[in-house]
Chain A
Amino acid sequence: MLEIPWEPLAVTSRPKPVAEPRAAAPSQRAPGKWAVTDETRSEARADAAMDRYAGGQESAFSDLYDLIAPRLHSYLLLKTRDESATEDILQQTFVNIHEARGRFLRGARVMPWAVSIARRLFIDSKRRHKRECPLSDEHAETVAKLVAADAAPDLQLASQRTARQIAEALERLPPRQREAFELVRCMGLSQAQAAEVLGTSALAVKLRIHRASDALRRSLSAVLNARQL
């Protein structure tokens, strides 16, 4: 089932649609001592699969793919806005993981590492092509699909319009804030994992997400008010 990337923005009945970071949906909450979420379990399975693959069990690569590829694909699609570029980078990410499997530390977490490789490959590819990717209708449509997949048909049009506005608002965020927001809110990484990927502290990530949420709230307040009526 598709999950809604910006859960607080997609729920219309809440009085304050853009909630504080702590009020995120359970699946987006940072894995904690008391909260064993689906994503935590899935990550633990992915870590175990990577461990088996590093140990030489070839079939574990397929399990690893099934567990982490969908999230990496979504992340890359948000970044590249292009399906074929996304698939190329995804493929290269898995080839890199395969090549370095023998160096994977026992008990290490695979997801932040995989995201870090994918992110770097995306940056390299962007540098190589040296092209700007303006927000296209296709991209807005992709975001709309992600946001509105589970919505009732009569709400889909409104959701798509909102999605377009969300995509535009995200586009306007400073790159650091946008990246932290995408990793935590859209990818479901914990703040600590996002900090690892971005090479910064968890506190800095928390601050960036807070600022990004504030900026998004401001940008989208008109839309949200309209939806609450």
Chain B
Amino acid sequence: MKTELSPDLKAKILEAALSAPSATRHEQQRRAFWYLSGALAVSALVFMFAGGVRVSGRSPLLVLGTALGSGALASAVVSVVLSRGRSMIGRSRVTLVSVALTAPVALLAWKLSYSARFAGALEAWPARPGMRCLALTLAIGALPLFALLMRWKKTDPAHPRAQGLAMGAAVGLSAAALVDLWCPVAHVSHLLLGHVLPIVLLASLGCWLGARLLRSS
């Protein structure tokens, strides 16, 4: 179905577009590259400043296994959330929300199930309730999340809140995978506070920012 349009309307629209210059794809990609590189560099610095990779008496196999598993989970979630195929609209709300809900649960399940194979790995550390892991994960994840949201700014995905939520969960899971290399504790209460809660917080932040940044109006 098509209707006739007045030539004045076209002139008005072209004039409105010309009056506000916008970045081309090349400029936008260059900008996004610097945003993301800067954010990842700061995150890496924060991680290194906190102590970097710490085995702390753990079996190297435990460190490697948990990190590889968490990394694989994070990669899968990131690829689902960020790949759009040939669509500018993004994935369906069900997919995005499912990914955001599954990510922290999957991380917890993986950490507990893999650590259970190693004697003493699940023991409680009363001196380490998880606050430091919480702070470190948030510090590592906040800037990359913001950079990603800026990359998608004003792209009008179908579900900006769900998109932001899933992006936050993906970034949180990636940060938690990195923190796995640093934290020797796998007690369930520590994992909930220090590793799962920051994913939930980053996802919530992503949801809030998504509604504000991803929409064009």
Residues of A within 8 A of B (CB): 2-5, 54-56, 58, 61-62, 65-66, 69-71, 73-75, 77, 87, 90-92, 94-96, 98-110, 112-113, 116-117, 120-121, 124, 146, 186-188, 196-201
Q: Are A96 and B20 in contact (CB under 8 A)?
A: no
Which positions 70-112 of chain B face chain A at CB distance < 8 Å?
84, 86-89, 92-93
Q: Are A96 and B14 in contact (CB under 8 A)?
A: no
Nearest CB on A from B156, distance (A): 5
Nearest CB on B from A112, distance (A): 6
Nearest CB on A from B106, distance (A): 24
Digit string of B125-161 for contact with A (CB within 8 Å is 1, else 0)? 0000000000000000000000000011111101100
Residues of B within 8 A of A (CB): 1-5, 9-10, 12-14, 16-18, 20, 22-29, 84, 86-89, 92-93, 151-156, 158-159, 215-217
Nearest CB on B from A101, distance (A): 6
A224–B193 Cα gap in the complex (Å)?
66
A96–B93 Cα gap in the complex (Å)?
22
Tell me the nearest residue of chain A to B216, going by C-beta.
A96
| 20 A–B contacts from the bound complex (CB under 8 Å) | A69-B5, A70-B2, A73-B5, A94-B17, A98-B20, A99-B20, A99-B22, A100-B155, A101-B22, A102-B22, A102-B28, A103-B155, A104-B88, A105-B87, A106-B25, A110-B88, A112-B88, A196-B158, A198-B158, A199-B92
SS of A interface (majority):
helix
* B26 proximity list for chain A (CB < 8 A): 55-56, 102
Q: Are B13 and A103 in contact (CB under 8 A)?
A: no
Provided the pairs A56-B24, A117-B156 are in contact, do residues A69 and B216 lie with their beta carbons within 8 angstroms? no
A93–B96 Cα gap in the complex (Å)?
25
* A56 proximity list for chain B (CB < 8 A): 24-26
A30–B87 Cα gap in the complex (Å)?
17
Tell me the nearest residue of chain A to B156, going by C-beta.
A117
Nearest CB on B from A100, distance (A): 5
Q: Are A113 and B88 in contact (CB under 8 A)?
A: yes
8 A-B pairs besides A66-B10, A103-B151 with CB distance below 8 A are A56-B25, A96-B154, A101-B24, A102-B25, A102-B29, A112-B88, A116-B156, A198-B158
